Structure 1
Amino acid sequence: MALGGGPFLSQNKILPGTYQNFISAARAFVNLSDRGYAALPIALDWGQDDGVLTVNLEDLQKDSLKLFGYDYTHSKLKGIRDIFKNAITVFFAKLNLGGSIAENIYAKAKYKGIRGNDIKIVIQANVDEPTKFDVKTYLEASVVDEQTVTTAAELLANDFVSFKSDATLAVTAGTPLSGGSNGATVLTAGTPHQLALDDLEAYGFNTLGCLSNEQTIKDLYVEYTKRIRDQVGGKFQLIGHKLGAKDHEGIIDTQNDAIGEGEELFGTVYWLTGAQAGVAVNKSNTNKKYDGEHTLDMSETKTQSQLTNLLKGGKLAFHRVDDETRILEDVNTFTLFTVDKNEDFSMNQVIRVLDQIAIDTAQLFNTRYLGQVPNDQDGRISLWNDIGRHRMEMQRIRALQNYNKDELTVAQGNSKKSVVVNEVVIPTVAMSQLYITTTVA
């Protein structure tokens, strides 16, 4: 005879049997979200035309040819290699607006851009079966695909082209694709940048790089960053080159030009975007050695007076230390200190700690409490424990110091569904100044 069984919510069962609930022992939330995520709207000769391309270092090293159209060591990828000196994952948004896809009578390039013009199709009679053709796709001098078929309809698309099924195959030493173009002048036209930023808004990242010399474009990135940080709640910092007086803790302004033939003036942005994304929450980039591939101009960072003025202006400067190039001080553009926001907010290490707290607390609440836990005393005590445990973990890794859990309060807000949290945190920052008084007896 069947008996009752299964889980129970209350003790209201009718049939005899065993009713058992299996639940996890309460475990406090202590996860710290990863850093190392950067976003970069970028002009490209090749690559995914729509949306955001997510790439990690392994992807770049293994698949740079199909992702960006160039070998990993190619000079065209210098900036991308620089950002991956420190970043773990980069979200690339291709800036090219308009543009065109290269093609010939046999094939059409997979993406828009001038790199498609470097593709050619070589067709040869198959040695073993003369009625068949060996169809090879070349990117410059390298064979990137080879297929043996009887008709064009049998050809399969590869990483670089799609074939025209109605084409008539004929032996050719090489038929190049042509007509590929990058589209709008992406460094001066605002629309490609705005579209890229719109695409990136759905992603979470630690830094956003601005690759432009045009002031209107730089201002667009600044206002975007302020809106997302201050109104939407996204926590990232913008990295730009000679942005001007911006006075905001979410904006980092590097001053050194990249110099040399073919260099982009804003070349430092690549490396710094990765360095600021990849630095741990309990670390600083002050005195960090620059190991990027761009050559930096030091003419504006040679003297103590120059460096002092740059720091007072909220500028992040690279300077020469013996034979090495290093970051002078890990600062942002916030300079107009107030009682509510003092000079601590000008230190990027402090901002990273505060951003970590904001990101992790939101993740904690949204995944474990929102719509799931009752807003009663027991529920608020549980939230109090989870928040406190997270802060103690940050203190354990020395991102915070002297955290007093007794000063953390979790109370009901003005409505039955709201919760109000108050706490005091003291971010830890790295040593950067040493004052010594030596008494000689």
Structure 2
Amino acid sequence: MAGGTWSATDMPVLPGLYMIFQAAALAAIEPGARGTVVLPVKAHWGPMNEFVEVGSEAAITALFTDDETGSATARTTLRLALLAQPKKVLAYRLGDSSAAIATKTLQDTTSTPVNALRIDAKYKGARGNNFRLTVATNLVDNNKKDIKLYDGTTLLRIFTFTSGTVAAAAAAINEDAGNIWISASVLLPGNGILADVSNIALTGGNSGISGITNADYIAALGAFETQDFHVLALDGVFDAALRTSVVAWVKRLRAEGKGITVALGGSAAEDTGATAVSVALTRSATVDFEGVINVGDGGVLDGVSYSSAQTAAWVAGLVAGTALSGSTTYAASPFEDVTRRWTRSEQEAAVKGGVFLLIHDGRKVKVLKGINSLVSLRSGQNKGWKKIRKIRVMDQITYDLMQTAEDNYIGKVNNTAEGRLALIGAGKDYLRTLATEGVIESTGYNVSLDPRFYGSSPAIKPDDDQVFLTWTADDTDVMEQIFGTFNVQ
């Protein structure tokens, strides 16, 4: 989908809908339309280098296991994101070149056994090394055999096949729709009869975690670019060079019209050290961009402390799951405490300095204010650009207009006075819907031809395939500060 920002002196080349948002021309859309989080994870099992939707904690266990030894991050990262109840969570498992499946070769019953059947774990990872196989005669029917698959001592599946043949064994495994653990390949027929074995292990499985570098995360960003998502977080990593690369990537995509946001944080030491406040403020000052949320502290959940880099997954889920008519300010969290309680003056510094902070108000842990890392306003921006809600609203407007233009206007409607009127009418209907839902003010919104390009003496004459519009609307906001005067008589 082409689009992005434009200027009269630097016209885009690709066909598409290009818009400039000025401070007086914000709008919004109906709540809940944006809600997809994408998360890179490291795990000992599961699909690698592909996107998997995860909808529950049970799904995390089934897809990636709960094992977080050896720097695996899937359970923590995905669980924190799910706790915020986003519309959708997409996991993308990373792995280095050492990643390998666990395997085991079974033999036939000849006097000089032949390697007849190879059993492979379905996914690369160390979990496959826990799989155990037992081949034995079926206890009910002597003409049949069973392959029993165990995960350690837990029985996962029994594959029953006729006459003990190698081909039948492979078919029983590969044609079982409920089998999500192993696959089978016939190597040599031998005498065609599979030999009995007891509790033999698959070997050679490697999770491919230890060699993962920043380059693997950067390569994953290229895959993310092909997906339709709204918020990104990393899996607890906090390397400064990687953060820099991710921020540059987000800036590029936003300039190209893909309205995404990323939530990033720091290490546990950065969150709790003597310089925690200055470190968090410096991160925001360095990034200083509306598409990046800088999480300043971590949370404590079920007695476990999570760094701000880990807690960023929950923040990403929260942003994605919050209705566009709402705000993350004062949003309740599942945490029982924070890893560092900022003082009032420090909290004020966080708000001014673009740090997204979790606070303990004496009763519960909640978000202090729904802000991004923007500190210094650029041309055409006002202080609304510092709010997560405002940015999400603008991003959705851009997406909706691009999608509507591509589906219904670009290449389909003649660029005549009548065609332009039809486009303007559709735009007004769009804003009318927003006004009805209370997302924008019910008066004062309008769509019209940009007077700089039309009229008796335009500053620039549009090409025959170009249309320039102005959109005007007053967006609404939520109450964040309430001031009262108490008169005592």
| TM-score, structure 2 normalization | 0.76
Please report how far the alpha carbon of residue 256 of structure 1 lies from its aligned counterpart in structure 2 after TM superposition.
Answer: 1.1
The letter of the residue matching 2:75 is L
> Who is 2:248 aligned against?
223
**Superposition pairs for residues 177-326 of structure 1, below 5 Å?**
177-185=202-210, 189-211=213-235, 212-230=237-255, 232-242=256-266, 244=283, 245-258=286-299, 263=306, 266-291=309-334, 297-299=338-340, 301-326=341-366
Q: What is the match of residue 101 of structure 1? A: 101
Offset of residue 62 of structure 1: 6.2
CA contact (8 A) 1:107 1:163 kept: yes
CA deviation string 1:151-190 (max 9, x = no partner)? 2322233311112323773333312222222224366x11
Structure number with greater CO (CA < 8 Å, separation at least 6) is 2
> Aligned-pair distance for 1:139?
2.4
Distance in 1 of aligned mates of 2:474 and 2:96: 46
Unmatched runs of 5 consecutive residues or more in structure 1: 1-29
Q: 1:69 to 1:338 in 2, by over 3 A?
A: closer
Partner of 1:151: 165
Report the CA distance between 1:195 and its aligned residue.
1.9
> 1:282, CA displacement in angstroms?
0.7
Structure 2: distance between partners of 1:415 and 1:248: 34
Cα distance in 2 for partners of 1:363, 1:164 equals 46
Question: What whole-Å deviation, never above 9, does each CA across 1:373-415 have from its counterpart, x for those lacking one?
Answer: 1111121111111111112222222222255244543677611
Residue of 165, 181, 188 corresponding to 1:160? 181
Is the alpha carbon distance of 1:31 and 1:239 closer, same or farther for their aligned partners in structure 2, counting shifts above 3 Å? closer
Distance 1:38 1:213, change over 3 A: same
Residues 97 and 398 (structure 1), Cα distance of their counterparts in 2 relative to 1, 3 Å cut: farther
Task: Mark the CA change 1:100 to 1:406 in structure 2 (over 3 Å): closer, same or farther.
Answer: closer
- In 1: Cα distance, 2:463 partner to 2:32 partner: 30
Q: Which runs of structure 2 are paired with 1:76-95 in the superposition (5 Å)?
A: 77-85=75-83, 86-95=85-94
Change over 3 Å in CA distance of 1:271–1:152 after alignment to 2: farther
With over 3 angstroms needed to count, the CA separation of the structure-2 counterparts of 1:269 and 1:429, relative to structure 1, is same
The residue type paired with residue 226 of structure 2 is A
Measured in 1, the distance between the counterparts of 2:104 and 2:386 equals 55
Q: CA RMSD in A?
A: 2.7
Q: Structure 1 433/263 Cα, relative in aligned 2: closer, same or farther at 3 Å?
A: closer
Amino acid at match of 2:206: S
Match of 1:67 among 56, 63, 66: 63
1:334–1:423: structure 2 CA closer, same or farther, 3 Å change rule?
same
**Unaligned segments of structure 2, at least 5 residues:** 1-28, 68-72, 106-117, 267-279, 455-460
1:434 aligns with 2:432: no
374-383 vs 403-412, which deviates more? 403-412
Is the aligned partner of 1:396 residue 2:436? Answer: yes
TM-score (normalised: structure 1): 0.83
Quote the Cα distance in structure 2 between the aligned partners of 1:64 and 1:306: 37
Native 8 Å contact 2:445 2:474 kept in 1: no
Q: Percent identity?
A: 22
Q: Secondary structure at the match of 1:389?
A: helix
Q: 2: distance between equivalents of 1:226 and 1:290?
A: 29
One-letter code of the match for 2:353? G
1:31–1:360 contact (8 Å) kept in structure 2 = no
